Amino acid sequence: MRATLLQLRVDDSEDARARRRRAADLVRARAGDDLVVLPEGWAAGAWNHATWARDAEPLDGPTARAMSGAARAASVWLHAGTIVERAPDGTLYNTALLFGPDGVRRGHYRKIHRYGFDTGEAALMGAGERIVTVPAPFGTVGLATCYDLRFPELFRALLDAGARFLLVPAAWPAGRLEHLRLFVRTRAVEEQCFVLACVAAGEHGGVRQAGHSMVVGPWGEVLAEAGEGEEVLTADVDPSEVDRVRAELPVLRDRVLGIPVPVRRAFGRPGG
CATH number, position 186: 3.60.110.10
pLDDT tens profile 172-227: 999 999 999 999 999 999 999 999 999 999 998 899 999 999 999 999 999 999 99
Is 129 marked active-site?
A: no
- Quick check: is 250 in a domain? no
Residue 60 lies in a domain: yes
- For residue 229, give its domain range: 2-238
Residue 198 among the catalytic residues: no
| Cβ neighbours, 10 Å, residue 142 | 26
Beta bridge partners of 169: 198
DSSP the chain: -EEEEEE-B--TTS-HHHHHHHHHHHHHTTBTBSEEE--TTTTT-TT-GGGHHHH-B-TTSHHHHHHHHHHHHHT-EEEEEEEEEE-TTS-EEEEEEEE-TTS-EEEEEE-SS-SSTTSHHHHHSPPP-S--EE--TT--EEE--GGGGG-HHHHHHHHHTT-SEEEEEE--BGGGHHHHHHHHHHHHHHHTSEEEEEE-BSEETTEEB----EEE-TTS-EEEE--SSSEEEEEE--TTHHHHHHHHS-GGGG---------B-TT--BT-
Report yes or no on 217 lying in a domain: yes
Residue 263: what pLDDT? 67
Percentage, residues of the chain above pLDDT 70:
96
pLDDT, tens digit, for every residue of 15-49? 899 999 999 999 999 999 999 999 999 999 999 99
In a domain, 243, yes or no: no
- Tally of structural domains, the chain: 1
**Domain assignment of residue 151, yes or no:** yes
Residue 259 in any domain: the answer is: no
Which of 40, 85, 191, 225 is an active site residue? 40
Give the dihedral sign, CA 250/156/144/171.
negative
Q: Of these residues, 14, 85, 146, 191, which one is catalytic?
A: 146
Q: Is 146 a catalytic residue?
A: yes
Q: Does 66 map to a domain? A: yes
pTM score of the predicted model: 0.94
202 within a domain of the structure (yes/no): yes
pLDDT for 259: 81
d(CA 256, CA 64): 42
Identified catalytic residue from 14, 57, 85, 111: 111
What type of residue sits at position 168? V
**Cβ 67 vs Cβ 221: under 8 Å:** no
Structure confidence at residue 14 (pLDDT): 87
Q: pLDDT tens-digit profile of 52-72? A: 999 999 999 999 999 999 999
